[in-house]
Amino acid sequence: MNTNHLDLQECLKKASLFHGDLCAGITLGTRMSILGLKAIGIDDPMGKDRKNLIVFVETDRCATDAILAVTGCHPGKRTMKILDYGKMAATFVNLATGKAVRVVAKDKTMDPNKEYDRETIEAEPHTEKYAMMPAEDLFELEEVDVDLWPEDMPGKPLRIVVCSSCGERIMDMRDVRDNGRILCKPCAEGKTYWRKKT
């Protein structure tokens, strides 16, 4: 049995099985995970280190599935925070030491002045390319500080309140106080990502 929990081939197999196939995003996310975990001193993310890790991902694409599969972090466990900036980047935080690194995929073979459409992207076999490229040619790693608040941590909700406008529950201090009223962010901002059917 392999005791190296961060073996590239094993991690790629696990990530592609979870995702359903092996693609460029799975390859990038897997390599980002291994690089980030090693940099913050986590070598067994699903075993002895599982309570010491939070990951912030900056995309809702394939790489996020790979990061979930390799790290064991989940949004529902509050150990993965998804901030969809459309960037192939993730920040790995060791809760025991406070060390955090942000790993960004930067394919230096891509022309920064060119716009790549779907056909152009699909024309090049990125999966093998990203598996073979040296890490220094594919990623930038930077040590960062991450502000973590009690309401961001795993565990049961710290507080639940009800929006005085829509009547829906709001957990973990995500409410907005406005002239003595408790509001959810959509009601406070007057917008949602959805609208009622008419």
**Please, what are the domains in the chain?**
8-149 (3.30.1330.130), 156-189 (3.30.60)
Strands 89-94 and 139-144: unpaired
Q: Which residue has the tokens 């699903």?
A: 46
Q: CA distances (Å), 151 to each of 81, 104, 188, in order? A: 13, 27, 20
Give the model confidence (pLDDT) of 24-74 as tens digits.
Answer: 899 999 999 999 999 999 999 999 999 999 999 999 999 999 999 999 999
User: Residue 94 — pLDDT band, cuts 50, 70, 90?
Assistant: very high
Eight-state DSSP code of residue 176: E
Q: What is the predicted pLDDT for the residue at 2?
A: 44
pTM for the model: 0.88
Q: How large is the greatest C-alpha to C-alpha distance in the chain, in angstroms?
A: 61
Lowest mean pLDDT among 69-83, 110-124, 133-147, 168-182: 110-124
Model confidence at 127, in pLDDT bands (50, 70, 90)? low
Apex CA 103: angle with CA 41 and CA 132, to 5°?
Answer: 95
Residue entry with tokens 């969809």? 84
The separation between the first and the last C-alpha atoms of the chain, rounded to the nearest angstrom, is 58
pLDDT of residue 102: 98
Burial class (CB in 10 A: 0-12, 13-18, 19+), 40: buried
Residue 186 vs residues 39, 132, 180: alpha-carbon distances, Å:
38, 45, 17
The residues facing 170 across adjacent strands are 161
Q: Position of tokens 């003595």?
A: 180
So what's the pLDDT on residue 1? 32
3-class SS shares of the chain: helix, strand, coil, % to 5: 35, 20, 45
